[in-house]
Structure 1
Amino acid sequence: MSETREPIVAIRNLSKSYRRGAQLIPVLQDITLDIAAGEFLALMGPSGSGKSTLLNLVAGIDKADAGTITIGGVEITTLSEAALASWRAAHVGFIFQFYNLIPVLTAFENVELPLLLTGLSRRQRREHVETVLSLVGLSDRMDHYPSQLSGGQQQRVAVARAMVTDPDILVADEPTGDLDRVSAGEVLALMERLVSGFGKTIIMVTHDPRAAEQAHRLLHLEKGELTDGAG
């Protein structure tokens, strides 16, 4: 007997606008989307189409004007700011185009940052950090500062930081946008391994067709509306 699984992300009738002076600019219009657990989803579209806005709404960074987002059975659109911040810290990992590493901290210290908000002991934090730095192939670089690492290595540190709290979902905004082709390929292979080997769900915004090819599913955003990437 086949088992029907609830999607880990269920978006229903989601809309978002921004005010520019007296003008209301619609960014997302009535978006409905299901994302399965362990899926690698890519979002493409022209600048201003709402890709990053949708990513920020799913990650709980921004609030929708209308509609609901339910993640892992929690309707995050109803949470208070404090509850949303707590939920986000436990369930979402972030990967950015420009790494967002702190220059004065080592790779180890950058990865450890999200764990400082938890109740883990120093020894437990070290174990978590060493595990994820090993996972991304940087055990021998943990005491290096960002300036001592290549772009690809910095992004792998950022992936380790996103993974260190063992989140359900990774949101990646142009994760290969600042990398050369070889480094981009290494980071994409790592992200695919997080999905296939660790069951993570990844939602990635990208302009790079090669990056999008690595995803299980591709969707396009055009003027705030979703279209199937295969169309």
Structure 2
Amino acid sequence: MKEKMPLVEIKGLCKSYRRGNQVIPVLEGITLNIEEGEFLALMGPSGSGKSTLLNLIAGLDHADGGTILVAGEDVTSLNEAELAAWRAGNVGFIFQFYNLIPVLTAFENVELPLLLTNLSRRERRRHVETALQLVSLQDRMDHYPGQLSGGQQQRVAIARAVVSDPTILVADEPTGDLDRASAEDVLKLMDRLSDDLGKTIIMVTHDPRAARRAHSMKFLDKGVLADAPETTLSELF
């Protein structure tokens, strides 16, 4: 039987930034495999490289060395135009502060990624309504972000992230701006996306309660990837 390949394969990934004459290493030889349908939490102190790694996987930044394969495609070999097209078809983004457009309704915000496709207006509407139903906001589709709670806004953002059925979902502190009850609702929804719909989710978080929801967890410190230290595990359980 042919061995199943990981959905995301990261090998020897390196990234540094230049500040004046100083080169500051951020990621140093990261190697990581992520299976299809896996819900992975990335933890670590501020400045450890978590968001940099997430941005590289999502094609928002370029690596200095190493490779990232997503569903067999080498993301690190793509130029800017190719990356933009790849992101549009393969990556759903969930941000800490929702990044909704305030003058657009929930429906219109969710529809935005589909405007880059060849779907008809009727097909777009069907996809948007399905996504909003998935996050239990079909009765709020005509509301503007300012008329929604923080938790509802984040659920609209999740609907926008999944509406085009992306290969991977990347979430950067998705519960960081929410109260505990709203955060719990969002995490339950992400559970469903992974467990019931098979979505592959890579989540950066500082919150041990959020990380506990994931299937697996990795810890970044000073640009090196490891299993979580015992102090972090004791906070989780």
Report the TM range for the smaller structure's normalisation.
over 0.9
Matched residue, 2:66 = 67
Which residue is equivalent to 2:235? none
Is the CA contact (8 Å cut-off) linking 1:176 and 1:184 kept in structure 2? yes
SS across alignment from 1:62: coil
Write the letter of the residue equivalent to 2:204: V
1:84 Cα shift? Answer: 1.0
Q: What is the TM-score normalised by the length of structure 1?
A: 0.98
Q: Is the 8 A contact 1:16 1:66 kept in 2?
A: yes
**Match of residue 179 from structure 1:** 178
Equivalent residue letter for 2:36 = A
Aligned-pair CA distance for 1:226: 0.4
SS for the counterpart of 2:17 is strand
Name the CA distance, whole Å, in 2 between partners of 1:67 and 1:44: 21
The one-letter code matched in structure 2 to 1:32 is T
Give the deviation of 1:230 after TM superposition. Answer: 5.8
CA distance in 1, matches of 2:96, 2:145: 15
Structure 1 stretches (4+) deviating beyond 2 angstroms?
none
User: What letter is aligned with 1:207?
Assistant: H
2:103 counterpart SS class: coil
Q: CA deviation at 1:216?
A: 0.5
Matched, 1:111 2:113: no
Aligned position for 2:163: 164
Distance in 2 separating the partners of 1:182 and 1:206? 17
What runs of 5+ residues in structure 1 fail to find an aligned partner? none
1:138 aligned partner: 137
Q: For 1:10-159, list aligned pairs within 5 A.
A: 10-159=9-158
Closer/same/farther in 2, CA of residues 199 and 230 from structure 1, 3 Å limit: farther
Q: Distance in 2 between matches of 1:205 and 1:160?
A: 19
Q: Which range moves more in the overlay, 56-65 or 74-83?
A: 74-83
Q: What amino acid sits opposite 2:153 in the alignment?
A: Q
Structure 1 residue aligned with 2:213: 214
Show the counterpart of 2:200.
Answer: 201
* Alpha-carbon separation, structure 2, partners of 1:229 and 1:8: 22
Corresponding pairs, count: 230
Secondary structure in structure 2 of the residue aligned to 1:133: helix
Give the distance between the partners of 2:204 and 2:116, measured in 1 at CA.
Answer: 27
Distance 2:138 2:77 in 1: 40
- Partner SS state of residue 176, structure 1: coil
Superposed CA offset, 1:185-223 (max 9, x none): 000000010011111100000000000000000110000
Q: What residue is the counterpart of 2:234 in the other structure?
A: none
Question: Scaled by the length of structure 2, what TM-score is found?
Answer: 0.96
In structure 1, the partner of 2:233 is: none
Distance across 1 between alignment mates of 2:91 and 2:4? 20
- How much does 1:4 deviate? 2.8
Structure 2 residue ranges without an equivalent (≥5) = 231-237
Letter in 2 for 1:111: V
CA distance, structure 2, for counterparts of residue 19 and residue 150 of structure 1: 40
